[in-house]
């Protein structure tokens, strides 16, 4: 009977959550703001310096011994992730779980060292994973969890989803399972990734914009590149597209402008939510359709591209111009931005792209993503060396975590059809058949849409992905609770 009542109230809560409108989780589920004492350097045993790492916690549904849903904060302040990640609260009420968000080191207010330039030396994937490992151990102690209690399930989207998958490989004894949404863990050079990424972008524009839109987009970019071949063409290009700097003498302007535009277009595909959003930048509902209308509505392909850039970057009118020459490809520059009245805080992520994640470098004035082609990686390396004095170790994460060669299960990878990053999902043929690893492509969904609050009305295929995730979490929690004790293993 208690189980029946629990399910009833969970269903009531989910209906009310869906009907609550656009308010974010910070308002609907006000968190406790806590701090974990974390090591400045988890791998330097000559020093035990610590810093305060921010934690956001919501525990209204949790009782002793019940699960903990831990969200990996990514490349930004933890409040933004907490506010937008509605699905974790839907899961938590159904599982009687605690919700915990961990802010990533060197983002927000979780700074191992100040100023930021010193913090960057401690900014790696390995350090971030170790932070969470230590925190789980300490939290279990604080909650007085017994061995088969407090199953931890990790969740994350995009880079945070990559951390989920890698955490499961590195620290499987600390997590009962993980939900990795839009997590391109197998996205490395020498595998045709840029071409696949662009093809996925065009699919979104053709399928969810208009049939002619992908063709118009390719033609506009072809015109952009041919126009950039001459000094006079580059000058015209800079004038039409609103460049902050004159392009007349910049021989690499074509590749830089092309990269800038592709970053905007691909990120629009990634963020093609059915409702207005400000997750990365302020966008209307169905922004791909809006971009296609702008592209076709000017009569001039280059002016159409400018209209698309304005949609992506300048909805609030805060850009004076666009910093095409700050792109990572082409001639190295220091990356200074002059166009936005308030430049985005792009330093921490761009640094990560320069040490371990060169295929995920920021583009489009720090607001977009587009992967470098193999032939452009040397240019990215030169830009990294100029800006930070480092060069990317392009294959390190693949060596460290194996790409698609996963060896620990209890993982679900979800991807949206609209999201170009889906091409970095693990290759099914590389995953052992006996491993409890699942992949689910969500038709018509955008970047980790299954982690967000439901649209109004809820979208059935996104809801189905959430149901699949919850069913797996329930099974993993049950598996965790059935783990044999040391005595049972000896008697087996």
Summarised one tens digit per residue, pLDDT across range 175-186 is 999 999 999 999
Write out the two tokens for 434.
């006996």
- Are the C-beta atoms of 204 and 288 separated by less than 8 Å? yes
d(CA 429, CA 315): 43
Summarised one tens digit per residue, pLDDT across range 404-438 is 999 999 999 999 999 999 999 999 999 988 899 99
Say which residues have a Cβ less than 8 Å from residue 256's Cβ, sequence separation at least 6: 250, 324, 325, 327, 329, 330, 331
The domain 193-388 is placed in CATH, from the list 1.20.120.980, 3.60.70.12, 3.40.50.280, 3.50.50.60, at: 1.20.120.980
d(CA 480, CA 485): 11
Mark out the alpha helices in 171-286 (DSSP H runs). Answer: 193-208, 213-227, 231-241, 253-270
Where along the chain do its domains lie? Answer: 2-188+406-491, 193-388
What is the CATH superfamily name and number for domain 2-188+406-491? Alpha/Beta hydrolase fold, catalytic domain (3.40.50.1820)
Position 2 pLDDT exceeds 60: no
Position 21 pLDDT exceeds 90: no
d(CA 188, CA 425): 11
Provide the pLDDT for residue 484.
65
The single residue of 91, 104, 410, 447 carrying the catalytic annotation is: 447
Position 16 pLDDT exceeds 60: no
Chain mean pLDDT for the chain = 92
The single residue of 258, 323, 419, 450 carrying the catalytic annotation is: 419
Question: End-to-end alpha-carbon separation of the chain, Å?
Answer: 36
The single residue of 38, 104, 131, 158 carrying the catalytic annotation is: 158
Query: How far from 337 is each of 283, 323, 367, 384, 390, CA to CA, in Å?
Result: 21, 6, 12, 16, 21
Provide the pLDDT for residue 343.
83
Q: How confident is the model at residue 4 (pLDDT cuts 50, 70, 90)?
A: very low
Provide the pLDDT for residue 22.
57
Position 466 pLDDT exceeds 60: yes
Provide the pLDDT for residue 247.
97
d(CA 187, CA 395): 10
- Are the C-beta atoms of 348 and 107 separated by less than 8 Å? yes
d(CA 54, CA 71): 13
Position 323 pLDDT exceeds 80: yes
Picking from 194, 193, 200, 163, the residue whose alpha carbon sits closest to that of residue 178 is 163
Dihedral sign for Cα atoms in the order 24, 30, 33, 39: negative
Beta bridge partners of 439: 413
Is 272 known to be catalytic? no
Is 210 known to be catalytic? no
Provide the pLDDT for residue 15.
34
Say which residues have a Cβ less than 8 Å from residue 216's Cβ, sequence separation at least 6: 292, 295, 296, 301, 304
pTM to 2 decimal places: 0.93
Summarised one tens digit per residue, pLDDT across range 107-146 is 999 999 999 889 999 999 999 999 999 999 999 999 999 9
Picking from 381, 275, 283, the residue whose alpha carbon sits closest to that of residue 332 is 381
d(CA 475, CA 78): 29
Q: How confident is the model at residue 342 (pLDDT cuts 50, 70, 90)?
A: confident
Position 299 pLDDT exceeds 90: no
How many Cα atoms within 13 Å fall on the side-chain side of residue 117? 3
Summarised one tens digit per residue, pLDDT across range 37-86 is 999 999 999 999 999 999 999 999 999 999 999 999 999 999 999 999 99
Q: How many residues does the chain have?
A: 492
Picking from 263, 317, 257, 265, the residue whose alpha carbon sits closest to that of residue 291 is 265
What's 378-393 look like in SS3?
HHHHHHHHHHHCCCCC
- Are the C-beta atoms of 237 and 228 separated by less than 8 Å? yes
Q: How confident is the model at residue 227 (pLDDT cuts 50, 70, 90)?
A: very high
Say which residues have a Cβ less than 8 Å from residue 243's Cβ, sequence separation at least 6: 237, 257, 321, 322, 324, 325
Is 447 known to be catalytic? yes
38: DSSP letter: E
Picking from 367, 204, 344, the residue whose alpha carbon sits closest to that of residue 280 is 367
Provide the pLDDT for residue 468.
98
- The radius of gyration of the chain's CA atoms, rounded to the nearest angstrom, is 23
């Amino acid at each position: 009977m208690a189980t029946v009542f629990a399910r009833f109230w969970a269903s009531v809560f989910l209906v009310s959550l869906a009907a609550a409108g656009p308010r974010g989780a910070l308002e609907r589920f006000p968190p406790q703001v806590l701090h974990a004492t974390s090591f400045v350097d988890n791998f330097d045993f000559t020093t035990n310096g610590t810093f305060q790492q921010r934690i956001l916690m919501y525990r209204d549904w949790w009782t002793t011994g019940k699960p903990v849903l831990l969200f990996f904060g990514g490349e930004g302040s933890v409040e933004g992730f907490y506010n937008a990640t509605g699905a974790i609260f839907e899961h938590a009420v159904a599982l009687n779980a605690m919700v915990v968000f961990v802010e990533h080191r060197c983002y927000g207010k979780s700074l191992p060292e100040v100023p930021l330039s010193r913090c960057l030396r401690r900014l790696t994937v390995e350090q971030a994973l170790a932070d969470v490992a230590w925190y789980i151990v300490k939290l279990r102690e604080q909650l007085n969890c017994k061995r088969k209690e407090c199953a931890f399930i990790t969740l994350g989207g995009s880079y945070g989803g990559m951390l989920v998958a890698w955490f499961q490989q590195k620290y499987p004894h600390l997590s009962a399972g993980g939900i990795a949404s839009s997590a391109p863990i197998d996205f490395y050079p020498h595998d045709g990734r840029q071409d696949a990424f662009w093809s996925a972008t065009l699919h979104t524009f053709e399928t969810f914009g208009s049939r002619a839109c992908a063709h118009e987009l390719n033609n506009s970019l072809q015109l952009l590149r041919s126009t950039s071949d001459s000094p006079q063409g580059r000058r015209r290009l800079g004038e039409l597209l609103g460049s902050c700097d004159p392009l007349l003498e910049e021989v690499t302007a074509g590749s830089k402008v092309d990269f800038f535009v592709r970053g905007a277009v691909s990120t629009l595909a990634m963020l093609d939510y059915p409702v207005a959003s400000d997750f990365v930048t302020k966008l209307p509902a169905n922004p791909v359709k809006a971009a296609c209308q702008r592209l076709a509505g000017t009569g001039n392909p280059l002016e159409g591209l400018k209209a698309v850039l304005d949609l992506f970057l300048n909805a609030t009118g805060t850009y004076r111009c666009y910093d095409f020459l700050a792109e990572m490809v082409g001639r190295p520059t220091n990356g200074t931005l002059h166009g936005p009245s308030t430049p985005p805080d792009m330093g921490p992520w761009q640094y990560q792209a320069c040490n371990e994640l060169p295929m995920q470098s920021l583009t489009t004035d720090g607001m977009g993503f587009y992967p470098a082609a193999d032939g452009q990686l040397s240019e990215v390396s030169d830009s990294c060396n100029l800006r930070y004095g480092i060069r990317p170790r392009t294959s390190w994460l693949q060596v460290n975590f194996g790409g698609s060669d996963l060896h620990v299960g209890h993982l679900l990878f979800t991807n949206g059809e609209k999201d170009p990053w889906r091409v970095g999902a693990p290759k099914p043929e590389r995953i052992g058949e006996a491993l409890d690893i699942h992949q689910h492509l969500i038709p018509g969904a955008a970047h980790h849409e299954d982690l967000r609050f439901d649209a109004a009305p809820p979208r059935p295929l996104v809801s189905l992905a959430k149901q699949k995730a919850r069913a797996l979490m329930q099974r993993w929690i049950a598996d965790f609770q059935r783990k044999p004790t040391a005595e049972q293993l000896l008697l087996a």
